[in-house]
Structure formats: structure tokens, C-alpha cells
Structure 1
Amino acid sequence: MKTMETLAEELHLDSHLSLEDIPDLNLYMDQVIQLFERKFADTKRNEDEKVLTKTMINNYAKGKLFFPVENKRYSKEHLILISMIYQMKGALSINDVKTVLARLNEKITNDEGFDIQELYTCYLQMVSSNTEKFKADLQDHHHEASEAIRKLEDKDEEYLEQLMLIAMFTNMSNYYRRAAEKLVDELGADQETK
């Protein structure tokens, strides 16, 4: 089994769309797709997987996950929202993502003093911090799984350790997803009362 350092490297945890990656001029859909493919290519599970497609973007637009596009061109604000959608859709339903981003879309279009780039910078700083915490957690989980499996004194130790790690990782993932869903439900209830 590979080391946790190798696993973390292979996950390409530093793959994200930075503000510097987003041009100041508005992009056509094909350019948006190329930008995302280039930035997130290493995070794909296999070569056939697509990071972003025209259908996905059209569905996001039809579903009102981001404010309307002008002249078939996507602004920096659109790209930030698409990046956030890309990150959230791995754990949340599209309806949940819509609920989360509804008020943000309003703020972008109606609140002239609101700076989404500042919010996104804060988000990216937290992502960086989370990356370091995640790497440390990988080590902790690996140590814990190794200790538990060693006590079983089974010949198939490597497989059992991998099984235990997979079970622990999915368990933690479920905890975080469920916590996010609870917050989405709260947000949805708040939006319904307004």
C-alpha cells in the first residue's frame, strides 16, 4: 500500500482556480471549459471523466445556480461561482448548491459594495489550511488503522488496512456531508421565511 504522503500527492489537493488564473476579460463557454479542464485535469479519477461540460454549464444556468450571462460571455464572478459549484457538487445535490448560492447571487447582482473576489480569497485561504489539516488527518487515520489491524494478527494485513482506511474515510466524508446538508436545510428554512 502506498504511503499517506504519496496518496496526498496523487490527490492534487492544491488544484483550485485562483483569482490569478481567471482573466480580467469575459470568456466564452468553450474558454471556460478549457480553463477548468486545465486547472483540474489532475483531479480526475480517469481520463474519460470530464471536469466541466457545456451541458453542465447550461444546466447550472437553467437551474439559476448563477446569475444570467451577458452576450454568452462569463465574467470573473461567474467563474468564481462555477468554481464553487464544482467543489460543492461532489458532496451536495444541485438543489442544495442552488440554495447555498441563491443569496450570494443576489448580493453579487444587487449589492454594489459586495466583493465576491474578497470572499473567494478567504475561501481559498481556508482551503489551503484545510489541505494541511487533511494531510495530518491522513497520517492519524493510517496510524490508527495500522494499530487496529496489527492486533488482529491476520495474514492479509495490507488488504485489511486498506479496507479499514476506506471505511474510515467514507465515514468521515459522510459526517461532513451530513453536517453540510444540515446547514443547507437551515439556510433553506431562513430563505423561505424571508
Structure 2
Amino acid sequence: MGEIEKIMRELDVDSQLELEDIPNLDLYMDQVIQLFENKFKDAKRTGEEKILTKTMINNYAKGKLFFPIRNKKYTKEHLILISLIYQLKGALSINDIKALLSPMNEKVTENEIDLEEVYGGYLQLAAQNAAAFKEDLQVRAAAAEQQQLPEVLLTASLVHMSNLYRRAAEKLVDRLEQK
């Protein structure tokens, strides 16, 4: 069990870009990258891995994953959307992310929703997810320890759960696109 607790600490599952981490002034691209690199540096698998690059941001903009920037500066709303994209890209395709975020982007640009409030709701759910994950991982690790090749079985179990959650998320996106 000590190994699982070490892995959970290394995963830094509680790390999120909190609303208070986002400055109330607009940022240039290099500042955006630095903010994300500093916030999520512990989430990297290797030291060479990049959390966010200029190319990524430009691709998100070209793909219309967020509304256009002004004067080469990114607003608090842009940073919230980039944070959501960062979280979503681990499981969803860029097309799925666009389908998911497009209706929200429209509502933001038309001042129909408060993006900070929506993101606050996401952060609450993410905190609940992190707590549930830690508990679930302990249970799965204990069950795997009773079997031969526990590391293989635990890894396969985690990948299976990941696939189930990803497929459920894809179904939600498909339903959103049908509306």
C-alpha cells in the first residue's frame, strides 16, 4: 500500500488551475504557458514533457476551441477554457472537445453564462473526483495484491476504468451534438 500512496502523491490529483490562480489582467501567450507550466509541473511524466506550447495554443485557436483573442492577449475566460481543454485532451479528441465547448463559447461571447461560475462547478466536481479516485485506487490496489502479478492486474484494471469513463464521456458528447 505504501507504493500506491507514493504514486498518488506523485500524481498530484488535487492540482487544478484555481480561479484565484488566474490573474485579472490579460496575458500574452508566453505568460499563459508559464502559468500552466508552473501550475502543472508535478503532473509531468518526464522532465522534458511540455504542459502547454505555443503550437498547442495556436492549434486550439485555429480549431476554434475558444473564442478569438484580442491584441495577442488572453483573458481570464481564455485561461479557463485552456484549462478545460488541458483536462479534456487526455481523454477526448480535439473534435469532441470542440463539440463540447462550442455551445459554451457561444454563450460566453453572448454574455448568457458566467464562465467563472461554470468553472467553479467543474472545480468542485474535480475535487470530489480526486477524493473518490484516491479511495478507489486504494481498494483496487488491495484487491490486486491478493492476486498473482498485482502490478499487471492493477494497471489493466485502471486502464479498463479509464476506457469506461472515456467511452461514457464520448457518449455524452455524441448526445450533445445530436441536440
- TM-score per shorter chain, which class? over 0.9
Partner residue, 2:172: 183
Q: How does 1:131-150 map to 2 (within 5 A)?
A: 131-149=130-148
- Structure 2 unaligned spans of 5+: none
- Alignment TM-score, normalising by the size of structure 2: 0.97
Shift of 1:24: 0.3
Counterpart for residue 123 of structure 1: 122
CA distance in 2, matches of 1:134, 1:34: 28
Q: 1: distance between equivalents of 2:145 and 2:37?
A: 37
Stretches of 4+ aligned residues off by more than 2 angstroms: none
- Give the 5 Å matches for 1:19-168: 19-110=19-110, 112-149=111-148, 160-168=149-157
CA distance in 1, matches of 2:72, 2:131: 38
Q: Distance in 2 between matches of 1:7 and 1:44?
A: 13
1:147: Cα distance to partner?
2.0
Matched positions, count:
179
Counterpart CA distance in 1 for 2:152 and 2:10 is 19
Identical pairs, percent: 59
CA distance in 2, matches of 1:55, 1:2: 39
Provide TM-score, normalisation by structure 1. Answer: 0.90
CA distance in 2, matches of 1:41, 1:54: 17
- The one-letter amino acid of 1:102's match is S
Task: Give the Cα–Cα distance (whole angstroms) in 1 for the partners of residues 124 and 4 of structure 2.
Answer: 23
Distance in 2 separating the partners of 1:121 and 1:184: 21
**Shift of residue 2 of structure 1?**
4.8
